[in-house]
Structure 1
Amino acid sequence: MSQSALKLARGARRQDSPRRDEDPATFSTEEVADLQFSLEQQLDAVLQRNEKLEQLNSCFEAALNHMGRGLSMFDSEQRLVVCNKAYADVYELPPELTRAGTPLVEIVRYHMSRSAGQEPAGDAPVEWIKQQVARLQQGGHLEQIQSLPDGRIIRVTYEPLAGGGWVDMQEDITAQRQADEKIEWLAHHDTLTEIPNRFHFRERLEHQFETYDPRQGFALLWIDLDHFKETNDRLGHLVGDGLLKSVAARLKNSLRAGDVVGRLGGDEFAILQVGVDREELAANLARRVLQNIRRPHEVYGHSLHTEASIGVALAPHHGQTPEQLFACADMALYRAKSAGRGVHAVYSPGTVDSASATQNPLRAELKKAVERSELALHYQPIVDLREGRVSSFEALMRWKHPSRGMIPPSEFIPIAEETRLIVPMGTWALKQACTDAKDWPDSTKVAVNLSAVQIECCDMFEIVTEALHETGLEPERLQLEITETVLMRDQARTQEVLRKLHDLGVLITLDDFGSCFATLNYLRSFPFRKIKIDRSFVRDIPEHHDCVAIVKSVADLARELNMRSVAEGVETAASLLAVRNAGYTEAQGFYFSPPVRASGIKRAVKQCALRLAALDTAIAEDKAGKGKAPPA
């Protein structure tokens, strides 16, 4: 303030309380003008500060109201300090309840009355606030999940303030919860039929074993549709899928409360029937299921007639673990199919065993073969055509019968799969192959075949990791071969298992490519790193020139997908020359070596090297004009 203005101000005070012996102060025009100018400056400064505060408040309010979450602040007296629009929208508050100074108790009372449809009883809002404040004082940060009447799910977080009171934020997590629930549902249900999948059904079965009343057991019904593959091949996958959905719906309608139906994979279903204290109850359900399945199924303009076979096993009489009960139901299912299909059979140890032995004596003997260690592994080399060396050996199971001699895999592997003996047989083969491979050079891998039954009936990831851990074999040296039929059984489960094994470092090979009904979608969906063409195409090259085009197209496809390609069934030098010219990276067959015992590995490697050298020499001589044909 200027000197004249100060003087004017002092004069003004004297005028307010003048002494009798003093004359009133007089001020010049300049001094009055100076004071006016000073006051105007101060007023402008105040107005500017107010304008800036208003701008800040406007920005603050805009920021609050554009937050993706609700926010509110309450003081130590539980009165509203500030809230944003999202907060009001979450609880659908009227404008009068969003003003600063509004008691929290009024907001809570309003929310409770809307949720319950009536005024809250007594001091319910006050008690709720007391509990919230007590929790904040005890633990500081607080988080709660609120379910609103309209179905929304809100996550609320509270942060206490230093001077008392708190800040809370509201986040709408409805979509996140729905997504989580969807993922959970997909993990436990078959997406086609929308009933429990094999994994979830087994969970329910395990839980039933843990909680059932011994005085009232339960039954497992294993259902297999008869001749479904013919319908699927004749009318297509769309109609086949429609038939599976129709059957699943019929099965659900056949059950009582508490019973569970699941899809095990492909055309196989299972029912867990609870509260079964006698065999007749399970048999009645089986007959009812068969009747429902026999009724015509209207699918995409087709009236389809189908039958089913059912194997029944009761707990605890036939099995006291899920594995035992599944095995007994499987044997009963086999008896039902042997009886002509379209019927059910209840497990009976003597009857099933004797019937099985009569139908095929190898069934009973194969179980003994596993127990007596009559099975062995032979190894056939797979040759890298680019590097000119053995890159891996495929493990092939052999059965040396004490009286019948060597039994080919084509005879006993199907039996092993039907009886589920393939599970312990496959586990043994995997561990034995890994053990043998530890004695080979580090650059040589071992390939082991997997059955669809193994993937469906056990945790293959755990079995593989256990085998690698016990033997010390690096995951990168193990290759697992699966056929196209495996992919058709339970695609979701198979994809999950193969993906985990791939991430572990194990190489996954699609075996017998082109022999069945594989689609290119499999190559995109599953983590394959190698394709092995079916041996029939390679074997028929000399007689069928069109096979050359097929063989080359598969090699080109593998190259475009950045996968390795294996030609299986190379039995002559001409076949080897054809697949090498077609661009295959590896080859396998009797031209190099038949399957040999583990003790013959070194000899097989030398023989492969000699075969490759002989072929190269013959080709070089032929180019030089000597006309010498490649060795047969």
Structure 2
Amino acid sequence: MDLPQDDPAGRLSLEQRMVCAIRRVQKNGGNFALLLIRPRYCLVSQITRGVVMHPGLIRQIYDRLLPLVRRIDSVALLNGQNIALLAEDVKGTGAALSLARRLHALLDSPFSAMAERGAIDSDMGVALYPLHGLTPTDLIANAKAALLQTTRPGGTDMELYNPASPSVVTTDRGFSGAELMAAIHHDELFLHYQPQAHLPDESICGVEALLRWQHPRHGLLYPQQFFPSARLHGVLLSLEAWALRHACMNFASWPPQVTAGMHLGINVSPAFLCDAAFPLLLDAVIGESALLPCLIRLEINAEDLVLQPIEWVSRMPAIRQLGVGIVLDHVDDLALVPKLLRMLKPGIIKLDMDIFVGEDPALVHGAIADLNEWAGQYGARLMAKNVEQVSQLAYVMDSGIGEGQGTLFYPPLPAVAVYALRNR
């Protein structure tokens, strides 16, 4: 096994190996992982391309990696500074992170280079095919983005690619009502789907449809960048109606082997629930798509419910009669839960795991136990949301929560990537 440099030929060598790995996954199923390793505090020497690792140190790092590198794997040196490991047949994100931890342990001890010695540490960025990219170029870029995340506040020395981690602009851009309606009429809107995982095996049990806007000037926009304008100009319900219809029609068109055992989550605002036409629209969409109503889950933001006038409660009987599921989404204030459980009677409560970051583990376990008890009294069960750190996953697994969603499992994906995951 060679250690190609990241000159044009070397980069092509790594990309060609990734192309071969992609073909094997497409044929046989499975995943592969790309791990970028950046040694820190290492000895360096100057050559014409800039500051790079000492050749003797490169050899020692490579020798350290050998116990975990199989014949089917590939190793390359990128930019003279980062080491890339292409690990094939990796069983999901948990296995990729476990491999990264073992690599980190192997590198976390003193090295010697020539006659000198120096202790090094390492940062790692991890991206998986097909979760985090469908081409070698995308996977390399996203592994680099994960590596960059290790240097940001809150980052650790080992990061899985998270499309939400880079500095996504969340400020509304002040669009006019005409611009927003044009997005609908000019086919500028589209949907991504974030898989939801059954635990503990992380198999996909459903997807949440997420609205995106490919703006002709501003590029990719997320809902938080245009929903405030839509609400201001009275266009929000039109956007939600578009998302509801297209999510159901798209899901109904997916092959049966993809959707088997899956449900479809769709975000619905309390304002949409309060609209007298909503039950009629939902009924029409169910009929048009021919989806079984029990496969549809309406996900309703807990905080928005509290702020919205109480009239949404009167709409719930007509909605329930259609046979769809109800999800209490984005629960980040546990004090609100008992009241909302009584009023909404959801089947699922999505607990936002972000609220537990940095908290005492005993308090976290106690809070989740209380929430489980409340949910059980109303026939509901918990789903963990925004699971993005290994520590959050530990809380989820220890608490016996049966479903999870977050970039630690799967990021939002185009439909074709969901197909690839389900067919692996």
Give the TM-score, by structure 2 length.
Answer: 0.54
Task: Pick the structure with more helix per residue.
Answer: 1
Q: Which protein is bigger by CA-based radius of gyration?
A: 1
From the superposition, tell whether residues 567 and 359 of structure 1 become closer, same or farther in structure 2 (CA, over 3 Å).
closer
- Alignment map for 1:450-465 (pairs within 5 Å): 450-465=268-283
Match for residue 561 of structure 1 among 378, 397, 403: 378
Structure 2 SS opposite 1:394: strand
**Corresponding residue for residue 431 of structure 1:** 245
Q: Is the 1:380–1:394 contact (alpha carbons within 8 Å) kept by the matching residues of 2?
A: yes
Q: Is the 1:537–1:551 contact (alpha carbons within 8 Å) kept by the matching residues of 2?
A: no
Is structure 2 residue 387 aligned with structure 1 residue 573? Answer: no
**Corresponding residue for residue 550 of structure 1:** 367
Point out the more displaced range, 515-524 or 473-482: 515-524
Shift of 1:365: 2.9
Q: Is the 1:395–1:448 contact (alpha carbons within 8 Å) kept by the matching residues of 2?
A: yes
From the superposition, tell whether residues 427 and 361 of structure 1 become closer, same or farther in structure 2 (CA, over 3 Å).
closer
Q: Is the 2:351–2:384 contact (alpha carbons within 8 Å) kept by the matching residues of 1?
A: yes
Match for residue 320 of structure 2 among 490, 502, 512: 502
Deviations 1:382-406 (A, max 9, x none): 1121675211100111111112211
Alpha-carbon separation, structure 1, partners of 2:383 and 2:330: 10
Deviations 1:235-279 (A, max 9, x none): xxxxxxxxxxxxxxxxxxxxxxxxxxxxxxxxxxxxxxxxxxxxx
Q: Is the 1:385–1:586 contact (alpha carbons within 8 Å) kept by the matching residues of 2?
A: yes
Q: Is the 1:482–1:509 contact (alpha carbons within 8 Å) kept by the matching residues of 2?
A: yes
From the superposition, tell whether residues 561 and 598 of structure 1 become closer, same or farther in structure 2 (CA, over 3 Å).
same
Residue-pair matches, total: 248
From the superposition, tell whether residues 456 and 559 of structure 1 become closer, same or farther in structure 2 (CA, over 3 Å).
closer
Shift of 1:569: 0.7
Shift of 1:458: 4.2
Report the identity percentage. Answer: 25
Structure 1 SS opposite 2:329: strand
Match for residue 309 of structure 2 among 490, 498, 508: 490
Match for residue 209 of structure 2 among 390, 395, 399: 395
From the superposition, tell whether residues 452 and 516 of structure 1 become closer, same or farther in structure 2 (CA, over 3 Å).
farther
- Alignment map for 1:345-356 (pairs within 5 Å): none
**Corresponding residue for residue 290 of structure 2:** 472
Shift of 1:441: 2.3
Shift of 1:554: 2.0
Is structure 2 residue 221 aligned with structure 1 residue 407? Answer: yes
Q: Is the 1:596–1:604 contact (alpha carbons within 8 Å) kept by the matching residues of 2?
A: no
Alpha-carbon separation, structure 1, partners of 2:204 and 2:217: 35
**Corresponding residue for residue 61 of structure 1:** none
Give the TM-score, by structure 1 length.
Answer: 0.37
- Alignment map for 1:251-330 (pairs within 5 Å): none
Alpha-carbon separation, structure 2, partners of 1:534 and 1:499: 27
Is structure 2 residue 351 aligned with structure 1 residue 537? Answer: no
Alpha-carbon separation, structure 2, partners of 1:541 and 1:556: 24
Is structure 2 residue 358 aligned with structure 1 residue 523? Answer: no
RMSD: 2.6
Deviations 1:62-118 (A, max 9, x none): xxxxxxxxxxxxxxxxxxxxxxxxxxxxxxxxxxxxxxxxxxxxxxxxxxxxxxxxx
Q: Is the 1:498–1:526 contact (alpha carbons within 8 Å) kept by the matching residues of 2?
A: yes
Alpha-carbon separation, structure 1, partners of 2:190 and 2:173: 26
Shift of 1:574: 3.1
Alpha-carbon separation, structure 1, partners of 2:396 and 2:173: 43
From the superposition, tell whether residues 458 and 464 of structure 1 become closer, same or farther in structure 2 (CA, over 3 Å).
same
Q: For structure 2, which runs of at least 5 residues remain unmatched after alignment? A: 1-171
Q: For structure 1, which runs of at least 5 residues remain unmatched after alignment? A: 1-357, 608-632
Structure 2 SS opposite 1:596: coil
Alpha-carbon separation, structure 1, partners of 2:335 and 2:215: 34
Match for residue 405 of structure 2 among 566, 588, 597: 588
Is structure 2 residue 417 aligned with structure 1 residue 600? Answer: yes
Alpha-carbon separation, structure 1, partners of 2:413 and 2:299: 19
From the superposition, tell whether residues 575 and 558 of structure 1 become closer, same or farther in structure 2 (CA, over 3 Å).
same
From the superposition, tell whether residues 552 and 414 of structure 1 become closer, same or farther in structure 2 (CA, over 3 Å).
farther
- Alignment map for 1:92-111 (pairs within 5 Å): none
Alpha-carbon separation, structure 1, partners of 2:243 and 2:365: 35
Alpha-carbon separation, structure 2, partners of 1:591 and 1:387: 13
Alpha-carbon separation, structure 2, partners of 1:510 and 1:436: 24
**Corresponding residue for residue 376 of structure 1:** 190
Shift of 1:606: 6.5
Alpha-carbon separation, structure 1, partners of 2:203 and 2:390: 16
